[in-house]
Structure 1
Amino acid sequence: MTSSLFPWNVHGAARAGRPPLSPADWPEKEKPLLEACQQLARATGVPQILSLAWPFPGLNPLAALAQELSLLPLQHFPSYCYFAHTVQGERVQVLGWGSLRRADLAGEKRFQVARDFVQALQPHVHTAPAPSSPQERLLCFCRFGFAPHSGGGAALVLPRWQLLQVQGEVTVARLNLEIGPDSDLAALAGQIATFFAHMQRLAQAPLPAWRPQPPLEVALAEEALLARIEKALQVIWAGSLEKVVLAEAVDLALPSPPAIPSLLAYLEAHHPDCSVFAFASESKGDFPPQVFLGASPERLLSVWQGRVQIDALAGSVARGSTGPQDCRLAEELLRSPKNRREHQWVVRSIQEALGWLGMDPWISPQPRLRRLAHIQHLQTVIEAELPDHVHLFDLLAQLHPTAAVGGYPQQAALQWLAQLEPFDRASYAAPLGWVDLQGNGELVVGIRSALIEGKRARLYAGAGIVADSKPEQEVAEIRLKLHALVQALALRPPDPLGP
């Protein structure tokens, strides 16, 4: 487990009215912490990581991201990760900036690489003060590719610093420092003071805003898409598959590079029931950073203290423009044999994956409605206990891809997708989120998403094809799923000189 070099509770002190630590506290506090880590590094021959946390009232993760990005040229962007989701009714926003440690997640052994990275890191991380809640832990951010050799920069990252805010309360800023046998402790102490002062400045940053623009035109290659759906139906009718999820990628030319924090703030405001995310690669030379972002309604895997929760999400219909119409569409979705069949393959694929690991899941007997801003889905909640010998990434390796994004049977569906889809999915429909060093984590499926690079954007959406699918209806569903990102990409930050 990560160790705590002294017990001081960040949120506990703030809520109890005690003053938080300030730079004046650190000359006497930091030296023994740094020295203790260096002694361990010398004794073990392994660099140690000291993770320090402070509360900062008024510091908002998205405002901090906007301020950081405004200060840097495109050629010098570090990697960053933003993830916002709801845990037990509380909205959690977390920002990770830079990369202190990183593992590339490509190849057939990518889930094993991720597990080994976390487990090798865990004994050498020391937190001060001790976290007072699950959400205050030091986190690593992960983004996988859909397939083992997908592009898009799949990686697991321990950030240089992290901001975490729960339900709009005091943000906890965490600085991660690597201390080797020969590290200059005075220089590291200087980094601490610089970081503290920088966070105080970021606490004054305003929240990102946006102004609406005319909607962007999205041109689906409808004829080619219909042909792929027809081919998928022929494969299903021939008995090779029960279900396959076909995706479409739409490329957009934007008038200017979008303001990522404003786009995320818009998604947060308009899709509060979704997990909003952005994973940005480090920019290299004259190339702008790639940012994979979106608002996903689908939690793939939540693990906390050995308790697992998984969402099966499949079967879709639009929201109605009036209350009665909305209820009618919802009732049709719940009664639809096609959508129930499509949904059941997802539940079955998850149940089988858990069974292969010796897990006996609890599955809700009937799907319920998952209502979002423009679309509603069938959802089944699945819960289980994680065996002691099974790591979160072992479970993820069995789950991904579920029949919600791949098909059923899994391997046959993946083989057909490789032939049917003329593009690399990259991180579309892949697992992404955060994990801590104790084996807990929150991962969603990277759907309702886009890959942005400068003034270019690639939007992704998909639809599940089963024996009684109607091709024109599947194309309409893909159009509907593209709506959230098309609408968001039309936004522009407000003119600072204008009204």
Structure 2
Amino acid sequence: MQIIPSEMLPGRDEAALRRFLEGCKEAAVTKGHFQIASISLEVKHIAPLAVLQSIYEPEELHFYIERPADDEAIAGAEAVVQARFDGPGRFQQVQAFADDVLENTIVVGDLSEAFTGPHFFTAFSFEDSVAEGGEFPAATVFLPRWQVSRSKGKYGAVANLKIDAGTNLDEAVARVWGAYQKFGAFDYGNDPANDKPPEQPEPCSRRELAPGVFEGAVKQALESIREGEFEKIVLARGIELEADGPWQPLDALNRLRERFGSCFTFSYGGGSGRSFIGATPERLLQIRDGQLLTEAIAGSAPRGRNAGEDAACARGLLDSEKDLREHACVRDSILRRLEQVGIEGIADASPRILPLANVQHLHTPIHAEVGESVHLLEVLSELHPTPAVGGTPREAAVPRIRELEQMDRGLYAGVVGWFNHLNEGEMVVGIRSALIDGKRAKLYAGAGIVEGSDAEKEARETELKLNALLDTL
């Protein structure tokens, strides 16, 4: 990747922009390969979700992720380059694709702030391969044409253009300059997206994706656990809602982020008109400045109706031998997986409570130092799926999941997130999630099954988790 000093755009005017793009075009001709021109600019106050909503097109790829408690959000829309992969080598293929793109990228702008420079957005299904006709590919990666972000009081915009010998520079300059002016002085009050009614349609039907299967699957899994086939398995159930009109996924996302401020709210659109949205409590992997952060989340209890009842539920969770065993299974597996790529993870000796709006979990943060030679996607391929969504041993438990659940998870319990040219990134687990497709919405929730689990209790736990999305929709 070639980095041009920000002084190359001294006046931030159309003439300077054109000179930069002319240089990119000359490089494309010389190399005989298209070049990505990536332009990073600081802008005034900007709300990434509002901007995304203003340019949202169901048939275009988009990505959004925010954790309100961290005061960070990033959105990307439209793909300047993209790729889709299937099979066990998908993580390595995504890395190779990104490396090739970066080899042919020319960047200009101040790259000292968060979310500057080219960022790749990704979505990985739970399984390495998906059935023919699946709603999303097993792996998708794209570099957005437009990217906007907020990070602790700083705001930025990135434009990525594909430049080759045939590029019309007049059109390219006009497109980027117009977007910069729009993002720099975004008029939220006059945004046409605000004219849309915020109300969601009324659900008029509900059905199970695999009727009558879940409790029987739990009993079968417990039998396999007793026989020593595996120690833990996570089983999910799904429901489908049909409404009297199409859902607005970004309106639903806005309500999710307001209700679940400590969760990662996300939306991914694969360009087919479908959106995968959610509010996940589970960070799978973060790497920034050489520091890795992941976490074990397993073991659940409801929230109480008052402070005393809530504390009693939390104490019961901390004292539950079954939940502590399930949690330790997840924590220890993550630490072992990190060792496989030469990373020594450090975890707290005992879990703490992670309280969410409608449920509370046992939670253990895990951190480590990571060297430059280890790519984020290499770590990701080792961690996914963790026992929090798959099982342990992974090789024995995960292949049984589809057989027992009798449904295709798709992106549920998969991975969505971003990474950049600095080997930094944020990847989260796609749970507490829903697939929005016009008038239909598929919602998913799972529960960890270990020795001592009860089928009826686990079904109630999944209903509790489903409520996060049910209440929103």
Q: Give yes or no for TM over 0.5.
A: yes
1:340 and 2:320 matched: no
- Give how far 1:460 is off: 0.6
d(CA) in 2 for partners of 1:414, 1:43 = 49
In structure 2, the CA distance between the partners of 1:397 and 1:212, relative to structure 1 (3 Å rule), is closer
| Distance across 2 between alignment mates of 1:211 and 1:436 | 36
Q: Which piece of structure 1 moves more, 211-220 or 141-150?
A: 211-220
C-alpha distance in structure 2 between counterparts of 1:485 and 1:216, whole Å: 16
Q: Distance in 1 between matches of 2:203 and 2:413?
A: 25
Contact 1:59 1:204 in 2 (8 A): no
Deviation track 1:365-397 (CA, whole Å, cap 9, x = no partner) reads: 111111100000011111112233321111111
Gaps of 5+ in 2: none
- Does structure 1 residue 119 correspond to structure 2 residue 90? no
The structure in which a higher percent of residues are strand is: 2
Return the offset for 1:459. Answer: 0.4
In 2, the alpha carbon distance for the partners of 1:165 and 1:305 equals: 19
Question: Are positions 1:225 and 2:214 aligned together?
Answer: yes
Instruction: Look up the equivalent residue of 1:82 and give its one-letter code.
Output: Y
The one-letter code matched in structure 2 to 1:163 is: V
What SS does structure 2 have at the residue aligned with 1:355?
helix
Q: Secondary structure at the match of 1:136?
A: coil
Mapping of residues 148-159 of structure 1, within 5 Å: 148-150=128-130, 151=134, 152-153=136-137, 154-159=139-144
Aligned with 1:79 (options 47, 61, 85): 61
Tell me the CA shift for residue 134 of structure 1: 2.4
Matched residue SS, 1:38: helix
Residues 262-273 of structure 1: matches in 2 within 5 Å? 262-273=251-262
Q: Secondary structure at the match of 1:100?
A: strand
Deviation at 1:273, TM superposition (A): 0.3
How far 1:354 sits from its partner (Å)?
1.0
Using the TM superposition, give the Cα deviation of residue 185 of structure 1 relative to its aligned residue in structure 2, in angstroms.
2.1
Match of residue 228 from structure 2? 239
Aligned residue for 1:114, secondary structure, equals helix
Q: 1:214 to 1:328 in 2, by over 3 A?
A: farther
**Residue 281 of structure 1: CA displacement?**
1.9
* Amino acid across the alignment from 2:252: L
Query: Runs in 1 of length 4+ with deviation above 4 angstroms?
Result: 205-209, 211-222
TM-aligned CA deviation for residue 66 of structure 1:
2.5
| Corresponding residue for residue 26 of structure 1 | 13
Distance in structure 2 (CA, Å) of the matches to 1:297 and 1:430: 14
In the TM superposition, what is the alpha-carbon distance from 1:100 to its structure 2 partner?
Answer: 0.5
Distance 1:257 1:300, change over 3 A: same
State the Cα distance separating 1:214 from its structure 2 match: 7.6
What residue number does 1:397 align with?
381
CA displacement 1:291-337 (0-9 Å, x = unmatched): 00100000000011321111110000010010000000000001100
- Show the counterpart of 1:383: 367
Q: 1:146 to 1:473 in 2, by over 3 A?
A: same
Hey, what's the Cα distance between the residues in 1 that align with 2:201 and 2:101?
46
Residue of structure 1 in register with 2:427 after alignment: 443
Identity %: 33
Partner Cα distance (2:41, 2:378) in 1: 33
1:199 is matched with 183
For the residues of structure 2 that align with 1:349 and 1:199, how far apart are their CA atoms?
44
1:4 matched to 2:16? no
Partner of 1:303: 287
SS in 1 for 2:71: strand
Partner of 2:148: helix, strand, or coil?
strand
The residue correspondences of 1:282-301 to structure 2 (distance < 5 A) are 282-283=271-272, 289-301=273-285
What's the offset of the Cα at 1:478?
Answer: 0.2
Partner of 1:354: 338
CA distance in 1, matches of 2:22, 2:410: 43
1:358 and 1:68, CA in 2 relative to 1: closer, same or farther beyond 3 A? closer
Measure the CA separation in 1 of the matches of 2:211 and 2:314: 27
Match of 1:66 among 43, 53, 61: 53
Judged with a 3 Å threshold, the aligned counterparts in structure 2 of structure 1 residues 281 and 222 are, in CA distance, closer, same or farther, namely: closer
Alpha-carbon offset, residue 345 of structure 1: 0.8
Change in Cα spacing, 1:271 to 1:44, as seen in structure 2 (3 Å) is same
1:123 CA displacement? 2.9
Matches within 5 A, 1:465-476: 465-476=449-460
Cα distance change, pair 310–200 in 1 and its aligned pair in 2 (3 A): closer
Partner of 1:99, secondary structure, is strand
* Distance in structure 1 (CA, Å) of the matches to 2:214 and 2:166: 59
Q: Equivalent residue for 2:118?
A: 138
Q: Displacement of 1:55 after TM fit?
A: 3.6
User: Is 2:296–2:364's contact at 8 Å kept on the other side of the alignment?
Assistant: yes
TM-score when normalising by structure 2: 0.92
- Displacement after TM superposition at 1:202 (Å): 4.4
Deviations 1:411-443 (CA, angstroms, capped at 9, x unpaired): 100121131121111011111111111211000
Partner of 1:496: none
C-alpha RMSD over aligned residues: 2.3
Does the CA contact (< 8 Å) of 2:252 and 2:472 recur in 1?
yes
5+ residue gaps, structure 1: 10-19, 284-288, 490-499
Contact 2:144–2:160 (Cα < 8 Å) also in 1? yes
Kept in 2: contact 1:451–1:458 (CA 8 A): yes
231-240 vs 199-208, which moves further: 199-208
AA partner of residue 416 (structure 1): R
Distance 1:474 1:219 in 2: 19
Partners of 2:205 and 2:253 in 1: how far apart? 21
Match of 2:145 among 160, 164, 182: 160
Q: Shift of the alpha carbon at 1:452?
A: 0.9
1:91 counterpart letter in structure 2: D
Q: TM-score, normalised by structure 1?
A: 0.87
Q: Residue 49 of structure 2 aligns to which amino acid in structure 1?
A: L
Per-residue deviation, 1:131: 2.0
In structure 1, give the amino acid aligned to 2:328: Q
Q: CA deviation at 1:190?
A: 2.2
Taking structure 1 as reference, are residues 5 and 95 closer, same or farther at Cα in structure 2, changes over 3 Å only?
A: same
Does residue 328 of structure 1 match 2:315? no
- The one-letter code of the counterpart of 2:39 is L
CA displacement, residues 197-234 of structure 1 (integer Å, 9 cap, x when unaligned): 44367433568684588887755567421111101111
Aligned-partner Cα distance in 1 for 2:204–2:298? 27
Partner of residue 464 from structure 1, selected from 441, 444, 448 = 448
Name the counterpart of 2:44. Answer: 57
